[in-house]
């Protein structure tokens, strides 16, 4: 059995840990509010861009369609962009993303496809290096980026475009965590290239009017489609950030509660040991007095 001094040290150590987890929970809660607003504010822009692309794509077909929309005509080489967290202490947030990515990648490999990987985030790099180290073509450490902007997402989009235009890849997919609520973040696999025209995208009501585009639909799509890749990546990074702080807040809340339970158990054990020691000392004093 541990001595009273060791038990006091344990209690003090757990109390210090509890203060840290409580502080991290409060910081995560404060950052979650801003991150959630940023993620939710980015959604309408991405949705409207998807609607514009859907409307324009309806007017182009065949050889006139841009390559980012029509594809290469092949489905052999897949580039998978895995976006996860740069830091830990967030429960199973990163693990769920990596699990979804591995399921997607293993399915492609089982189908005989060639897979290349871009890892975004320190945790994604660390967890993907062992199983797919030979397939990682580039990695991005975003730990220094306090605020996610288009400038943050642009290098990733540029690398995707370079790989696609060089004919090195046929299909590009993005794996990230979609933020739904504080307790729910859903790992999501989204195809970026060829661009998927969403069936549910709102269609602009022209009121019977006929529009002539200047430049042509093809010319507008040639500009919008690369921009859409950047926007989709930025939206995914913002969703990830909101999900990360939500998971971290929940994990630190659980850690704080567990620390409180440990303090209660250690305190009860300490009091019992102290009482037993006092009782023993009293018995020794009484026995000595009786012996005299």
At 177-218, the pLDDT tens digits run 999 888 888 999 999 888 876 655 555 555 665 666 666 767
Percent share of the chain, pLDDT over 70: 90
d(Cα 166, Cα 67) in Å, to the nearest integer? 12
Per-residue pLDDT tens for 92-120? 899 999 999 999 999 999 999 999 999 99
Whether residue 57 is predicted with pLDDT greater than 80 in this model: the reply is: no
pLDDT at 175: 96
Q: Which pLDDT score is estimated for 95?
A: 92
Question: Binning pLDDT at 50, 70 and 90, where does residue 258 land?
Answer: very high
Q: Residues 120-129: pLDDT tens digits?
A: 999 999 999 9
Cα 167 to Cα 278: distance, rounded to the nearest angstrom: 81
Q: Does the pLDDT at position 135 exceed 80?
A: yes
Q: Looking up tokens 């730990």, which residue turns up?
A: 143
Q: Is the bond preceding residue 215 a cis peptide, omega within 30 degrees? A: yes
Express as a percent the part of the chain with pLDDT over 90. Answer: 48
Give phi and psi for 131, each to the nearest 5: -80, -30
pLDDT band (50, 70, 90) for residue 65: confident
């Amino acid at each position: 059995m541990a001595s009273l001094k060791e038990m006091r040290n344990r209690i003090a150590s757990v109390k210090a840990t509890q203060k840290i987890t409580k502080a991290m929970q409060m910081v995560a809660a404060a950052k979650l509010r801003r991150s959630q607003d940023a993620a939710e504010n980015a959604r309408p822009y991405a949705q409207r861009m998807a609607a514009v692309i859907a409307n324009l794509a309806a007017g182009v077909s065949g050889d006139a369609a841009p390559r980012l929309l029509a594809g290469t005509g092949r489905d052999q080489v897949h580039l998978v962009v895995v976006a996860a967290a740069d830091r830990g202490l967030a429960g199973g947030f990163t693990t769920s993303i990596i699990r979804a990515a591995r399921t997607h990648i293993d399915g492609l490999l089982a189908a005989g496809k060639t897979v290349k990987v871009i890892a975004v985030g320190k945790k994604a790099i660390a967890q993907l290096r062992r199983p797919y180290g030979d397939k990682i073509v580039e990695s991005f450490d975003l730990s220094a980026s306090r605020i996610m902007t288009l400038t943050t997402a642009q290098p990733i989009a540029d690398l995707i475009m370079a790989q696609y235009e060089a004919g090195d890849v046929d299909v590009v997919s993005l794996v990230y965590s979609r933020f739904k609520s504080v307790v729910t973040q859903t790992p999501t696999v989204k195809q970026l290239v060829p661009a998927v025209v969403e069936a549910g995208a709102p269609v602009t009501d022209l009121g019977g009017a006929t529009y002539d585009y200047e430049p042509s639909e093809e010319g507008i799509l040639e500009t919008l489609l690369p921009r859409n890749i950047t926007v989709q990546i930025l939206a995914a990074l913002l969703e990830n950030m909101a999900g990360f702080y939500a998971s971290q807040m929940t994990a630190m809340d659980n850690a704080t509660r567990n620390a409180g339970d440990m303090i209660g158990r250690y305190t009860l054990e300490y009091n019992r040991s102290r009482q037993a020691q006092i009782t023993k000392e009293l018995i020794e004093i009484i026995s000595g007095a009786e012996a005299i």
